[in-house]
Structure 1
Amino acid sequence: MRHSSVRGEGAPEQAAGGISGGGGPGASGAVPEPQGEGDGTSGVRRRRRGKRRVLLWTSSTMAFLILGTAGAGYLYYRHLNGSIQTDALNLGDNKLGGPKPNAFGQTPLNILLIGSDARNDKENQALGGGRDTFDGQPLADVQMLLHLSADRSNMSVVSMPRDTMIKMPKCTEPGPDGKVHPASKGLVQVNESLSRGGPGCTVAAWQELTKIPISHFMMIDFKGVVSMADAIGGVPVCVQENVHSRTKAGKGSGLKLPKGESVIQGEQALQWLRTRYGFEDGTDLGRTHAQHMYMNSMAREFRKNAKLTNPVKLNSLAKAAIDAMVVDPGLNKIDRLYDLSMELKKVPPGRITMTTMPWIQSPNDRDRVEPKPGEAEDVFRMVREDIALDGQDAKQPGGSASAPAASSSATPSAAPTATPPAKIPVAVRNATGGKDESQVKVKGRASDVVALLVGKGFTKATADQLTGAEDTTLIRYAKPEQAADAAAVATAFGLPADAVQQSAEVPGITLFVGKDWRTGAAPPAAPPAPTKAPDSARPLNGDDDKACMKIQEGFTW
């Protein structure tokens, strides 16, 4: 029986599912039959995913739209401040301490865009369908991380498929008596994070998986999507052949476009963002690629400052955006949204890169995916280290990839501490077995590292009786005022900046000796960071105005 994270049964359009953002059948190269027929349990599961889920991808596009249009007109709408809905930024224990500034004091921004399938009013229910799920918990079915570089020269967007299986972190709802959602014992579908206390748990799940500190989130629901699409005024898109997204069984978005470029808006834009049948091989991988094309084209339109000067249109867009979104407290004012939009506006479309997290099919379920070993981490690391996914940093002297703060060397030393090493208590835990405990812990390893710390002047270091399970060596600290002291420990061993994390699960500064440091006097140096996103991420450049969707056989007219 399919678990509660899958909704949409009884929705007006029962488009067969797969994996949003590039998963599912496409992972094995299988092409869904145009008739929409399936066999066995997997086929039934795919058919249950309908209009509700694909509309969520529209929500993520609208989140991007909000950011892009804020600078065009939000200052005119200060009276909307009181209407902005907010929720806690991070409900997890691991706060990561925020993005690290570069050598010039500039700080990157990481913004998580979330699409919720909440059916909390008649508008959302009408758009979402699936009457049997009206009272269900909302799901974070769209998740995109927008990374704005520290020097504001480039922007990277990383989509995560909704059916990605991850280990869910512990999340605690706000308030003195906030409900505690314990960490999952096994893998859980990532979109369930929203039902574990709100968007702050989705942020926590991303941070736990990627180790990327998230600055803000923006969450969008169904309502407002169509009206906001109308308010855009039209976005150019391209198809390589005439296309009609409709199967003989009546499934599909209904999109019908002639070969070449068309300017779409309103319902037609919604159809483009929903289309699965008819694009590429008929899987969600093609649908995601089409959504990225749309977002890049939209960004180019905003750059031209066209179609968004009409006060009536701006008013309609602003109202639709405010009604449809929830943000963290750091974005709870129109001025703050405006300031953010001005930062985003500095990036030319040619330095915007859209990607999907590299994935593999889950070994236990062909309808689920997991992060692709190696290549998913490469993308996450590039974001953590502020390296542009388009590869241009490596070509430019002084670019992010060669800047001191973007390398894998430790930047915590940039945060000086007034505490001498001899006065810094450090607990050392043996975590050398790895997260999956695939290796036997090295006996006495914590004591060995304590001796190394004492030799470096940290005379209050002690071996903890508790152990851990980590693939890489980490330093965690409990309170913000301990951050600088934890950074000093990292610097002593040459650990990278992202190895230092704030966590409520430790009583003080704690060094976890990971599987990567089973022997020797220092952790092994990290290999050089990638300089360009892997092909498996399907990078799409924002300046590519020649991008044109390939059409699936059998869907032309």
Structure 2
Amino acid sequence: MSDPWDGSGGQAARSRTAQVPGPRMSHKSGDVPLPGGRAASRAGSRSRGGGRSGHRSRPVRRGRRVLKIMAICLSVLVLVTAGAGWWFYEHLNGNIHSLSLDGKGGTEKADAFGRTPINILVMGSDGRTSKADCKLGGGCSKTGVQTGSNADVQMVVHISADRSNATVMSIPRDTMTKVPACKDSESGQSTTGYYGQINSALQYGPACQVATVHQLTGIPIDHFVKLDFSGVVKMSDAVGGVSVCVNADVYDTYSHLKLSRGTHTLKGVAALEFVRSRHGFGDGSDLGRTISQHIFLSAMIRKFKSAGTLTDPTAVYDLANAATKALTVDDGLGSVKKLISLADDVNKVPSKRMTFTTMQTAPDPANDDRVVVGSGAKTLFATIADDQSLTTGSGKKSAAASATAKATATAPAVPASQIAVTVENGTPITGRASAVADALTSKGFSTGTSTANAPSPSATTTLTYGSGQEAEGKTVAKALGLSGSHLKQGSGTGLTLVIGSDWPSGSSFPGGASTSAPADAKAAVSNAHAQTADQAKTCAKVSPYKTVALNGVPMTPSQAYAAAKGKPDSDE
């Protein structure tokens, strides 16, 4: 087998290694012996008048010069490449805008193996806070560029502790709830708290929106990601478009989405029109919009995971550059390294085990245009807070989801989120009341749960409930592993838990029952429009109602499509 480095330089190198001395010759041409091969050819050429016959060839020095030049070029290339990589990294880090959560979202608990779930609140802002967003969102003709914004899209993204499954739960923007006292760290705008539409909490900063969702659901929120109109456009362009399907012709005269029946690849403004369309799908309300958004996000996730997207350097650069420019995140995600780690965690979850749901709602008795938390929502909250999967390893419904929803029939009249407990420390151990109170709120009990020192030391733990509150007392006892012997009815109102010396540590009573029974998965997804991210053939259902208007005439989105023949489709 020949040496790949064969050649005049290689032969010279081997001669030096062998250290075979040669005769000392004068520099006269007649004294130079003629070697064979290429050297002979060169020598013959010189003797015939070609070249410089008075000088001896020096292949060794020429080889050294070539290697030296190659080494210099390689060094320069390495330095330039490393510099470009460092510039790119710093460039992306400089794109990121991050804010502190200030501990507003609670804290996740690790599982038995020390692994921790991840809960992220993804927010889509309706803010017209730049000229670009004014142009995309409209509505700035009279007000100009605005300062405040609402969270018209809210999704709690839960990634399980073992990274085997994920749940994405949308919360409709029209949900009425209690907004806690908040202050925006950037604008300084503050509120002492109020009852109102959940999306309005973003006016007091992303941390306030996180606190509001945490209070409503009892789910600890570790992180947030916020993007605006421009962000949707940039992200959809960066992935080369997102493929979606509609089951009928649709023209939403409000979001301007216009598509014929079938599958379309949406980029830029067309993608924004699709995710913003509220009148085009379902019943024309925000509930229908959450379902079409799930279809869009599922398609985007499949695109991320597809071969070619993450292996194409240009696509990766465009995606990373767009993402870091488009997103506002919390400090815990405020670097390229942390965002890459999050992307890796998401990538570990198979598409068939990513479940998209919408929080169950009921009409608001005080306002037909608003909704409140509906039946089954508390169970859905509990499945997420307890890190329960809504699918099996095969992606099918879990055994719990296939069973009868017994938990719904036997559930207490008052959900955990509406039960507040006064936890008193009757031990000499500092912090016991706080530890147990934190455990209760992390399980979804009311954030109105408070702590205090017991009036006197207590040897035994007792849970006292007021008249008519036995069911609430049993719910608390079950969550903490307390037996019926610890329960007693008092003469006052409310629930008071006195921690005795028989409970010196931990958030579950020693030797007690399981801290909480698993939530019923079927009840959790009942009326929650659940679907998994691998369902590529799912089409968004166009509204059959007269939810849009063209030239002042109410009509269905399909009728509007037929009537607007002169307007090009969004993907043209």
- How would you bin the TM-score normalised by the shorter chain? 0.5 to 0.7
User: Which of 194, 198, 219 matches 2:202?
Assistant: 194
SS at match of 2:229: coil
Q: CA deviation at 1:288?
A: 1.9
User: 1:270–1:457: structure 2 CA closer, same or farther, 3 Å change rule?
Assistant: closer
SS of the equivalent of 1:118 reads coil
1:394-436 Cα deviation digits (max 9, x unpaired):
449xxxxxxxxxxxxxxxxxxxxxx9953347679xx9xxxxx
Equivalent residues in 2 for 1:501-520, closer than 5 Å = 515=494
Specify whether residues 267 and 426 from structure 1 end up closer, same or farther in structure 2 by C-alpha distance, changes over 3 A only: closer
Distance 1:208 1:551, change over 3 A: closer
The question of whether the paired residues in 2 share the 8 Å contact of 1:255 and 1:275 is answered with: no
SS of the aligned residue for 1:273 comes to helix
Q: Which residue of 1 aligns with 2:521?
A: 531
1:268 pairs with 2:279: no
* Cross-structure match for 2:217: 210
Tell whether the 8 Å contact from 2:172 to 2:287 is kept in structure 1 after alignment.
no
How much is the aligned-residue C-alpha RMSD, in angstroms? 4.1
Are 2:148 and 1:137 equivalent residues in the alignment? Answer: yes
TM-superposed deviation, 1:157:
0.5
Match of 1:302 in 2: 304
Question: Where does structure 1 lack aligned partners over 5 or more consecutive residues?
Answer: 1-72, 397-418, 432-445, 464-469, 476-489, 496-512
Q: Secondary structure at the match of 2:129?
A: coil
Supply the AA of the counterpart residue of 2:224. Answer: F
Q: Distance in 1 between the 2:273 and 2:206 partners? A: 27
Whether 1:371 and 2:373 are equivalent positions in the alignment is yes
TM-score norm. by structure 2 comes to 0.60
Is the CA contact (8 Å cut-off) linking 2:239 and 2:304 kept in structure 1?
no
- The amino acid of 2:532's aligned partner reads N
State whether structure 2 residue 463 is matched by structure 1 residue 455: no
Distance change (3 Å), C-alpha of 1:324 and 1:471: farther
Aligned to 2:171: 160
CA distance, structure 1, for counterparts of residue 91 and residue 538 of structure 2:
40
Q: CA deviation at 1:121?
A: 2.0
Q: 1:378 to 1:515 in 2, by over 3 A?
A: farther
Q: Aligned ranges for residues 84-123 of structure 1 at < 5 Å?
A: 84-90=96-102, 92=104, 96=106, 98-123=107-132
Q: 1:221 aligned to 2:228?
A: yes
Instruction: Tell me which residue corresponds to 1:385.
Output: 386
Structure-to-structure mapping, 1:11-30, within 5 angstroms: none
Number of residue pairs matched?
A: 392
SS of corresponding position for 2:372: strand
Runs of 4+ residues deviating >6 angstroms: 425-428, 470-475, 516-519, 521-525
Structure 2 unaligned blocks of 5 or more: 1-84, 401-424, 438-451, 465-470, 485-491, 501-508, 545-555, 563-572
* Structure 1 residues 456 and 540: alpha-carbon distance in aligned structure 2, compared to 1, 3 A threshold: same
Q: 1:120 to 1:286 in 2, by over 3 A?
A: closer
Instruction: Return the structure number with greater relative CO, CA threshold 8 A, min gap 6.
Output: 1
Alignment pair present for 1:351 and 2:341: no
Alpha-carbon contact 2:127-2:146 (below 8 Å) kept: no
Match of 1:409 in 2: none
Question: Residues of 2 paired with 1:230 and 1:74: CA distance?
Answer: 25
Cα 1:309–1:135 shift into 2, 3 Å: same
Work out which of the two has the higher radius of gyration on C-alpha atoms and give 1 or 2: 2
In structure 2, relative to structure 1, the CA distance for the partners of 1:118 and 1:129 (3 Å cut) is: same
- Cα displacement string for residues 491-543 of structure 1 (whole angstroms, at most 9, x for unaligned residues): 68489xxxxxxxxxxxxxxxxx9957799x99998565212433211111112
2:258 maps to: 255
- Aligned residue for 1:89, secondary structure, equals coil
Aligned-pair identity (%): 36
Asked if the contact 1:235–1:298 (Cα under 8 Å) also holds between the matched residues in 2, the reply is yes
Q: Provide the C-alpha distance between the structure 1 equivalents of 2:86 and 2:244, rounded to a whole number of angstroms.
A: 27
CA drift of 1:158 comes to 0.8
| Residues 437-456 of structure 1 aligned to structure 2 (within 5 Å) | 454-456=458-460
Change (3 A) 1:555 1:109: same
Residues 460-479 of structure 1: matches in 2 within 5 Å?
none
Is 1:80 paired with 2:86? no
Deviation at 1:99, TM superposition (A): 0.8
Q: Tell me whether 1:547 sits opposite 2:547 in the alignment.
A: no
Tell me how far 1:474 sits from its aligned partner. Answer: 11
Q: 2:320 — aligned with what?
A: 318
Paired residue secondary structure (2:458): helix
